[in-house]
Amino acid sequence: TIYQLIQATGREGKKVNRGPVFPSFQCPLDPTQLANYTQTYRYDASGNLLQLTHTGTQSHSRTL
């Protein structure tokens, strides 16, 4: 339907620290340490989000 996000793109850090705190996070990031990513979204007939797929340095998928 209208107003549903089906795809988004952006840049992410190649080396990601996991956890709630990013002690070594520096802003601005070095552009050579960034990689492109794409996220796609899939919905059911009622407009409910069914799946989010992240394709990039650390690809993963979430089924809701």
Please report which confidence band the pLDDT of residue 20 belongs to, taking 50, 70 and 90 as the band edges. low
Q: Note whether residue 21 is domain-resident.
A: no
Q: What is the pTM of this model?
A: 0.73
Q: Is 56 inside any structural domain?
A: yes
DSSP class of 45? T
Number of structural domains found in the chain:
1
Kindly state whether residue 34 falls inside one of the protein's structural domains: yes
Residue 18 lies in a domain: no
- Assess whether pLDDT exceeds 70 at residue 7: yes
Is 22 part of any domain? no
- Is 46 inside a domain boundary? yes
Q: Are 12 and 35 in contact (CB under 8 A)?
A: yes
Residue 20 falls inside a structural domain: no
| Structural domain of 4 | 1-12+27-64
Answer yes or no: is 8 within a domain: yes
Name the nearest CA neighbour of 4 among 42, 33, 31, 38. 42
